[in-house]
């Protein structure tokens, strides 16, 4: 048994981007995130719910994911998680006052995932209900809160190593698997693994593949289907590249599309995903990535 110290949600992401100003406009004008005034060091924070922030944007020519933040319940949970990682040989550093202030949390620890991506676990995030989230676009809000910011899909060096790390050490739970997707030109015997830590169908997915970036996409979910449609046509009007058209996934039942971010990785904007009840859920296998749609734009 893993005991305590299991992440409760995907709390924040750090993105190293080559053009922070372009990203700021994309986050506000296209995604509908609320961008905060820059920190003294130039860091740009963006929020989508009552949490003070969910995205940390820093200047970096890599244009890729450079930080994953996992929230845990409390001080004991953080200590349990740190001890479990250390007992497995993972180097863990305790956050000092400067790190805690920078992240706006009560306490945190830092370590790396098997692919070298800096990772943090923390508890006590700053919740700003005095100043409610306000999107620059008319909308009814994002599905976040206790479900976290959304999900991420990564490419990893070793599926087995990442499964061991995220499932056996961090304690994320398996949701399901998707085998090769011939409609997207994937012919190998690799699998795409989906894991969850709360009612969201998955907070993380990954597969063993060599691609230019670690981050394939992050997903944010909205309450209103119309917002997905409105954003789809906004992208067409404003020449924001769309990678995959509107479609619906068979595993989480998300209706979504994928747009290209200014950094080259994708952002999935979705609506209507199912939620997991761990007392009733059984792991499933799917052989198609989409029930319908999600075709490369321009495909016949």
pLDDT tens-digit readout, 225-234:
999 999 999 9
- Reading the block at residue 140, the tokens are 């009814």
pLDDT given at position 1? 39
Q: Is the pLDDT of residue 73 over 70?
A: yes
Second CATH level (architecture) for the domain 145-293: Roll (3.10)
With cut-offs at 50, 70 and 90, classify the pLDDT of residue 300. very low
User: In terms of Cα–Cα distance, which of 290, 235, 227 is closest to 266?
Assistant: 235
CATH (one of 3.50.50.60, 1.10.10.10, 3.10.180.10, 3.30.530.20) for 9-125: 3.10.180.10
Place of tokens 């595993």: 251
With cut-offs at 50, 70 and 90, classify the pLDDT of residue 89. very high
CA–chain centroid gap for 176, Å, is 17
Q: b/e string for 13-47 if b means 16 or more Cβ within 10 A? A: bbbbbeebeebbebbbebbbbbbeeeeeeebbbbb
pLDDT given at position 288? 83
Domain boundaries, the chain: 9-125, 145-293
Q: Which residues contact 165 (CB under 8 A, 6 or more apart)?
A: 113, 114
105-109: average pLDDT: 98
2-20: average pLDDT: 91
Q: Is the pLDDT of residue 183 over 70?
A: no
pLDDT given at position 189? 58
Name the residue with higher pLDDT: 235 or 190: 235
* 145-293 and 9-125 share a CATH fold: yes
236-252: average pLDDT: 97
Report if pTM > 0.85.
Answer: yes
81-94: average pLDDT: 98
pLDDT given at position 152? 98
pLDDT given at position 205? 98
Q: What percent of the chain has pLDDT over 90?
A: 90
With cut-offs at 50, 70 and 90, classify the pLDDT of residue 188. low
The DSSP 8-state label assigned to residue 185 in this structure reads T
pLDDT given at position 191? 85
**Is residue 36 within 8 Å of residue 44, measured between CB atoms?**
yes
pLDDT given at position 287? 84
The mean pLDDT value of the chain amounts to 94
> SS3 for 163?
helix
> SS3 for 36?
coil
DSSP of 67-129: EEEEE-SSHHHHHHHHHHHHHTT---EE--HHHHHHHTEEEEEEEE-TT--EEEEEEEE-B--
């Amino acid at each position: 048994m893993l005991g305590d110290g299991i992440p409760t949600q995907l709390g924040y992401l750090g993105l190293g981007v080559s053009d922070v100003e372009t990203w700021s406009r994309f986050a506000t004008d296209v995604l509908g995130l609320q961008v905060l005034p820059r920190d003294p060091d130039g860091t740009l924070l963006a929020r989508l719910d009552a949490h003070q922030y969910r995205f940390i944007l820093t200047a970096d020519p890599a244009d890729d994911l450079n930080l994953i933040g996992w929230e845990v319940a409390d001080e004991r949970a953080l200590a349990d998680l740190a001890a479990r990682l250390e007992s497995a040989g993972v180097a863990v550093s305790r956050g000092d006052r400067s790190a805690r202030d920078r992240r706006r949390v009560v306490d945190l620890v830092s370590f790396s995932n098997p692919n070298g991506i800096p990772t943090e676990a923390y508890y006590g995030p700053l919740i700003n209900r005095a100043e409610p989230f306000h999107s620059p676009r008319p909308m009814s809000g994002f599905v976040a809160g206790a479900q976290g910011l959304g999900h991420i899909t990564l490419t990893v060096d070793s599926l087995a190593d990442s499964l061991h790390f995220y499932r056996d050490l961090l304690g994320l739970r398996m949701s399901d698997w998707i085998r090769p997707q011939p409609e997207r030109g994937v012919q190998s015997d690799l699998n795409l693994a989906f894991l969850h830590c709360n009612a969201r169908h998955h907070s993380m997915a990954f597969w063993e593949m060599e691609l230019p970036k670690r981050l394939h996409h992050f997903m944010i979910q909205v309450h209103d289907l119309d917002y997905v449609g409105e954003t789809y046509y906004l992208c067409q009007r404003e020449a924001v590249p769309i990678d995959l058209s509107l479609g619906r996934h068979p595993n989480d039942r998300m209706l979504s599309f994928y747009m290209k971010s200014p950094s080259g990785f994708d952002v999935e904007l979705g609506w209507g995903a199912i939620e997991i009840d761990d007392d009733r859920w059984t792991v499933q296998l799917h052989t198609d990535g989409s029930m319908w749609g999600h075709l490369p734009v321009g495909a016949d």
